[in-house]
């Protein structure tokens, strides 16, 4: 089968050892670092998209192969459908072309980005252990759409030295937030694990910083926002400043609960060392453009995504009675996921 690659560097044409695209939607998936997977239902290949060089070929013992999703490190999930045996299996193939049968099997298997899911008939669904997605996963492998690989949003972390915030605490909070948004919304955030120390006060030419002034970032309230913005705001990515405490009431669309604050409309978060688990994850939601949702604790419908919602909080200036779970709940609804993904593009 002939393939053409059109790119800014020019066009390339080569022949792949495949017969045809038997199932167009499940025949080609991008991998990482310039490779792609392809199948004609009989053979699965990994090839270099620049010149068509085939790295490996794999063939199921019986049945037809249909490509599912590529995972990090160029692993591939393949559906193997055997009409004779009336079976469907999911096979995982590693970077070297070594295939492993997964424990997922049954009829009407479906692969869902974010998690690997399968259904038995059409009524029940079960999730396999969550998958950590790679740097250039194909967002909708079987959705009939071709999209580019997704870029990372860079996260930068600072810690006000005088506050002596435990670096173990900082790492666990930041990593839990990054992992949450990856799993829930497939938003790829990258942090190099560096915690940049920063002084509480920074002297400016002709203006020495005084402790307990509005330029002091040890204990931040509304007055400290301009200095926070001046020192840390960047055009892209997300910046997080850990310090002793966030206090006072911020007005307007700002979020504050004496634990953390997101500067409204900005990709900048300040967080105190007393912040509970998931508070930073909630603040990421604001940076991604999500407002609060009114959401109450009693689990009348405990499976609903609107209970224990991550973005629970006061809505409107007069809505002071909000019964949110503490720490924030784990749920997001579909429109929140869509909005957050849209918001994420602004941070690239």
Total interface residues for Zn ion by CB under 5 A: 2
Smallest gap from residue 259 Cβ to Zn ion (A): 10
- Give whole-number Cα distances, 118 to 21, 109, 314, 330, in Å: 24, 5, 38, 23
CB atoms within 10 A of CB 275: 21
Q: Is 159 exposed, middle or buried, given 0-12, 13-18 or 19+ CB atoms closer than 10 A?
A: buried
Pairwise CA distance, residues 113 & 132, whole Å: 10
Residue number, 14 or 296, with CB nearest to Zn ion = 296
Asked if residue 313 binds Zn ion (CB under 5 A), the reply is: yes
Smallest gap from residue 283 Cβ to Zn ion (A): 7
| Largest distance between two CA atoms of the chain | 83
**Choices 193-201, 224-232, 236-244, 311-319 (CB under 5 A): range interacting with Zn ion:** 311-319
Alpha helices, H only, 32-156: none
Residue number, 139 or 343, with CB nearest to Zn ion = 343
Smallest gap from residue 292 Cβ to Zn ion (A): 6
Residue number, 186 or 255, with CB nearest to Zn ion = 255
Extract the tokens encoding 319: 């809505």
Site string for Zn ion, 200-239 (x = CB under 5 A): ----------------------------------------
Pairwise CA distance, residues 305 & 324, whole Å: 14
Residue number, 159 or 309, with CB nearest to Zn ion = 309
**Choices 16-24, 132-140, 157-165, 255-263 (CB under 5 A): range interacting with Zn ion:** 255-263
Residue number, 255 or 266, with CB nearest to Zn ion = 255
Smallest gap from residue 226 Cβ to Zn ion (A): 21
Q: Taking a C-beta distance cutoff of 8 angstroms, is the pair 293, 311 a contact? A: yes
Smallest gap from residue 268 Cβ to Zn ion (A): 14
Among 255, 293, 308, 329, binds Zn ion (CB under 5 A): 255
Residue number, 66 or 259, with CB nearest to Zn ion = 259
- Which residues are within 8 A (CB) of 59 and not within 5 positions of it... i.e. 6 or more apart? 42, 43, 44, 65
Residue number, 255 or 259, with CB nearest to Zn ion = 255
Smallest gap from residue 257 Cβ to Zn ion (A): 7
How big, in percent rounded to 5, are the helix, strand and coil portions of the chain?
15, 30, 50
Extract the tokens encoding 338: 């869509």
Pairwise CA distance, residues 163 & 159, whole Å: 8
User: Strand pairing of 54-58 and 64-71?
Assistant: unpaired
- Distance in Å from the first CA to the final CA of the chain: 37
**Choices 43-51, 151-159, 162-170, 312-320 (CB under 5 A): range interacting with Zn ion:** 312-320
Mapped onto helix, strand or coil, the DSSP state of residue 67 is strand
Mapped onto helix, strand or coil, the DSSP state of residue 98 is coil
DSSP type of residue 335: H
DSSP type of residue 255: E
Smallest gap from residue 234 Cβ to Zn ion (A): 21
Smallest gap from residue 273 Cβ to Zn ion (A): 18
**Choices 60-68, 170-178, 188-196, 308-316 (CB under 5 A): range interacting with Zn ion:** 308-316
Residue number, 183 or 322, with CB nearest to Zn ion = 322
Smallest gap from residue 142 Cβ to Zn ion (A): 35
CA 203: distance to chain centroid? 37
**Choices 195-203, 207-215, 264-272, 305-313 (CB under 5 A): range interacting with Zn ion:** 305-313
Give the residue at shortest CB distance from Zn ion.
255
Give me the residues that bind Zn ion (CB under 5 A), please. Answer: 255, 313
């Amino acid at each position: 089968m002939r393939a053409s690659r059109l790119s800014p560097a020019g066009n390339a044409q080569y022949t792949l050892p495949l017969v045809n695209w038997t199932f167009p939607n499940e025949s080609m998936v991008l991998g990482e670092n310039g490779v792609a997977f392809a199948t004609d239902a009989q053979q699965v290949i990994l090839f270099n998209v620049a010149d068509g060089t085939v790295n490996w070929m794999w063939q199921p013992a019986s049945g037809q192969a249909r490509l599912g999703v590529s995972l990090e490190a160029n692993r591939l999930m393949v559906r193997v459908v055997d009409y004779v045996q009336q079976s469907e299996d999911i096979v995982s193939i590693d970077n070297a072309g070594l295939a492993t049968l997964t424990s997922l099997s049954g009829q009407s298997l479906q692969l869902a980005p974010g998690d690997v899911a399968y259904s038995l008939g059409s009524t029940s669904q079960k999730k396999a252990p969550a998958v950590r997605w790679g740097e250039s996963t194909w967002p909708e492998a079987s959705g009939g759409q071709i999209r580019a690989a997704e870029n990372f949003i860079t996260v930068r972390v600072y810690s006000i030295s005088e506050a002596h915030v435990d670096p173990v605490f900082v790492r666990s909070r930041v990593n839990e937030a990054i992992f949450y948004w990856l799993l829930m919304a497939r938003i790829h955030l990258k942090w190099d694990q560096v915690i940049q120390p920063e002084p509480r006060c920074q002297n400016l030419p002709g203006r020495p910083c005084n402790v307990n002034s509005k330029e002091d970032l040890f204990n931040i309230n509304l007055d400290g926002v301009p200095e926070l913005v001046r020192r840390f705001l960047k055009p892209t990515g997300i910046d997080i400043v850990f310090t002793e405490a966030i206090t006072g009431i911020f007005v307007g669309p700002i979020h504050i609960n004496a634990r953390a604050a997101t500067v409204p409309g900005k990709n900048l978060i300040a967080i105190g060392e007393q912040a509970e688990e998931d508070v930073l994850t909630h603040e990421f939601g604001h940076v991604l453009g999500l407002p609060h949702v009114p959401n109450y604790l009693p689990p009348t419908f405990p499976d609903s995504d609107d209970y224990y919602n991550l973005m629970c909080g006061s809505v409107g200036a007069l809505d002071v009675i909000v019964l949110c779970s503490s720490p924030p709940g784990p749920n997001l609804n579909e429109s929140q996921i869509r909005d957050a993904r849209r918001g994420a593009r602004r941070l690239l």
